[in-house]
Each structure stands twice: as C-alpha cells, then as structure tokens.
Amino acid sequence: MKKFISTVKNIFSIEDLRVRIMNTIGFLIIFRLGSFIVLPGVDPSRLGEAPEGIFGLIDTFLGGAFSNASIFGLGIMPYISASIVLQLLTVGVPYFQKMQKEGESGRKRINQITRVLTILITVAQGIGYVSATIMPTGAVMVDPVLFMFSSLVLLSAGTMFCMWLGEKITEKGIGNGISMLIMIGIISRFPGAIIAEGLEKGTSGMLLLIIEAAVLFFVVVGVIALTEATRRIPVQYAKQVVGGKVYGGQRQYIPIKVNASGVMPIIFAQSLMFVPALIAQIWASENDIANYIGATFSDFTSWQYNLLFALMIILFTFFYTAITVNPEQIAEDMKRNGGFVPGIKPGAPTSEFIDGIISKITLPGSILLAAVAILPALAIISGVGGEFAQFYGGTSLLIMVGVIMDTLRQIESYLLMRHYEGMMKSGNVKNNPSNYQVA
C-alpha cells in the first residue's frame, strides 16, 4: 500500500501527466453524459430491454447508449468500421498501398477518406438502427419521416463528436482516445453486473460469488499473459565507422506478439455468427432441419455455436495476422539499416525465417484467443449470471486489458523520464515497447 501511495504521489507531482489525466477524465465524463441524452421524439419508457447477439455486443461497447436510443447510439463504431475497411484496402489495393507509403501527406489523405467513409457508414447504420431497433418498440412519438431525418443528422453528429473526443484524448490526454471510449463504455456496465450478480446469489450464495470473483481474477491474469506474450527475434547490427566514430554493433530485438491480431478475429467472427440463424429463419416453417439450425445457432451457449465460433476465430486470426504483419517489409527494413538475424542471411531467407516464427506462434495464440472468446458461454453454463459472465472473456475483457496496459505503459514512461521509480518493483511494466528497439 505504501508503494502504491508513493506511486500515485509521483504521478500527480508531474504537472504534464497530471493535466493529461484530468483532461482524459473530463473527456470521458462528457462521453458518458452524452450516452444518456435520448434522441428527440423518443419516449424512453417505451424502449425495450437490452438487445442480445451482435446488437448486445455493440451496446456493451457503447455503455448502454445503443439501447437507450441516445444521440451517441452508434458511438465510435462507424469510425472503427471505416478504419478496418481502409486497413484492408491498404493491403489489397495498390492505390491505397502507394498512399500509405507517401508519409505524412499520405496519412492525411487516408484520414480524410476515413472520415468521409465514417459519415456514409453512420448514415447506413443509422437507417438500420432507427428502423430495426427504435421504431418497432413504439417509442417514437413524432412523425416517422421527420424522426428518421432528424435522427440520422443527430447520430452522424454524435459519431463525429465521439471521434473528435477520441482524437482530443490522444492529443491532450493519456492513452489511445478511441480505445479509451470503448473501454469506458464496457467498464460502466461492470458495477451494475456485480450488483446484479450479488442480488441474484443472495446472502446464502456469498461464498459462490467470492469463488466467481477469484476465477475472474485468474482469467484476467491469463488474458494479460496472452496480450503481452511476445517472441523476441534477435537482430545484430553491423559496425559502421563514420568520421572516426564507431556506430552499430549492438544486438537488439524484434518483439513479435503471440496475439498480434488483438480482438479483431473475435469481432469478425461475432459479426458473422448471426448468419446461420438468419438463413435458417427463412426456411424455418418448411422443414425441421432449418428449425433445428435456427434454434441451435441462436443459443450462444450451445456446443455447436461455440465450436463454429472458435474455428472462425482461429481462421480469422491467421488471416488478420497475415495482413497486418509483413515479414518481407520487416526483412527489407532490417537489411536497409544494416541489421541481420544471427545465422540467417539477409533478404528472402530472413523473411522466410520471420514468417515461420509468426506461423508457429500464431497457432497457439489463436487457440488461446478462441478459448478466451467462449469463456463467457462456459461461465453461464456454470451458473454465472449473463450480465456478469460477459466480463469472463471475449472482446470486452481483451479490450479492457489492452487499453489499461497501454495506458500504464504511457504513465510508466512519464515516471521514468522524470527519474521516478516505476510502477512495478522491477522499475518498468513488462513488455514496455520502450524496452525494445524495433528495426
């Protein structure tokens, strides 16, 4: 406790860090307040219960703004969708590949395209959101056409404002702004989930609640290990003599993450898992097989659902890792800077060596990621309440762990720059990128 209090004092004694933390808190409060402002023309008392499936996942990311018919009802999700689309285009389309290599000017153009695409996606998703989740509840108290138009304008403005908040957090706060907005939405549901679980268990079930909390603790530790696990590839740089001084000759490391794809495979797989049930509903009245498929894949605790979900996550992990980690580019950068992997020739052999390592660590990483994704379903089967079970794994836990660890690294770097003792006894947060120099 004494160590913790001393660290907090050191953090707030650094003016720049203190201002950034307060700015971040202020921006996050604004974001949370906006999630409770209901769209004009909606009677909140007539809104239905929290959605399930993919809509339930979005509602979790937005801290309930989706189910509240808020002006932040779509939040930052359209921007994330646009960013994913642009990321895929920079891999497969030569025009965007060239733009990405143009440096700062290219990044600015990509950002402009991302913003325009965000607006288009917001309008498209807004039409579906209003017509499929708000209007059927009977909560709309004004003319439907007028409500649709005003809602699309407000939802687009809300999404752009959320995007602006995220950029301001990154610029004037601490941590990655977009990720922070998603994380605060998820964390906002945690106190309510604990209270609901406690009320459900009652006084007679306190021991069981303590066991559930202990299991959650070890699950979080395991997810941190998965998120931070890396395979370090040694890189030796040749000595160079410039102006009578010797440069290089040092051994450095390239850290390759075991889970290089992050949460994206789970998001991709989750977005496709409603397709089997949707297709089955079309023929549900015609045959028993369609009825069986529809019922099976509508239940996310069934073994068939979780088996298909896990397989899709494994496949998407390999796919997303392949498009985000480029062994050829890494090998080319090493060769250009006079670096080489000991025992491996520069160029194509180095690229093949790195590709082989990525393939070997991606398989166990994808299996562990799939295991984390189905943990909430296993928790529900074991008797944990549905609201509390979502924190046992899946996208929510991975996002929270990733954002918190990234924020701790930034705080750690501020402390070390001012010659303060770090947040851990070792003096640094494990796998801090500042500890490694990537070629």
Tokens of 185: 């939405």
Q: Quick one: average pLDDT of 249-253? A: 73
- With a CB cutoff of 8 Å and minimum separation 6, the contacts of 414 are 11, 14, 16, 17
Buried b (16+ CB within 10 A) or exposed e, 191-200: eebbeebeee
- Indicate if the pLDDT at residue 156 is higher than 80: yes
pLDDT digits (tens, 9 = 90+) for 71-105: 888 888 888 888 888 877 887 788 888 887 777 78
> Topology of domain 1-173, per CATH?
Preprotein translocase SecY subunit (1.10.3370)
pLDDT of residue 437: 34
Question: What phi and psi values does residue 375 have, to the nearest 5 degrees?
Answer: -60, -40
Mean pLDDT check: name the lowest of 39-53, 213-227, 281-295, 307-321. 281-295
Please report, for the chain, the start and end positions of each structural domain, with discontinuous segments joined by +.
Answer: 1-173, 199-411
Q: What is the pLDDT at residue 29?
A: 92
Please identify which residue in the block is written with the tokens 């074991």.
Answer: 382
- Give tens-digit pLDDT for 411-431: 888 877 776 555 555 545 654
pLDDT of residue 434: 38
Question: Average of pLDDT values for 116-122?
Answer: 91
State residue 27's pLDDT score.
92
| Position with higher pLDDT, 27 vs 347 | 27
C-alpha closest to that of 269 among 300, 226, 227, 296 = 300
Which CATH topology does 199-411 take? Preprotein translocase SecY subunit (1.10.3370)
**Nearby residues of 232 by Cβ (< 8 Å), 6 or more positions away:** 253, 254, 255, 256, 436
274 and 299 Cβ atoms separated by less than 8 Å: no
Once rounded to an integer, what is the mean pLDDT over residues 57-61? Answer: 69
Q: What is the mean pLDDT of the chain?
A: 80
pLDDT tops 80 at residue 310: yes
Residue 202 has pLDDT above 70, yes or no: yes
pLDDT, position 25: 92
- Residue appearing with tokens 């929510």: 396
User: Which run of H or E residues covers position 63?
Assistant: none
Q: Which residues contact 332 (CB under 8 A, 6 or more apart)?
A: none
- The two domains 1-173 and 199-411 share their CATH topology (first three levels equal): yes
Q: Which helix (H) or strand (E) holds 230?
A: strand 230-237
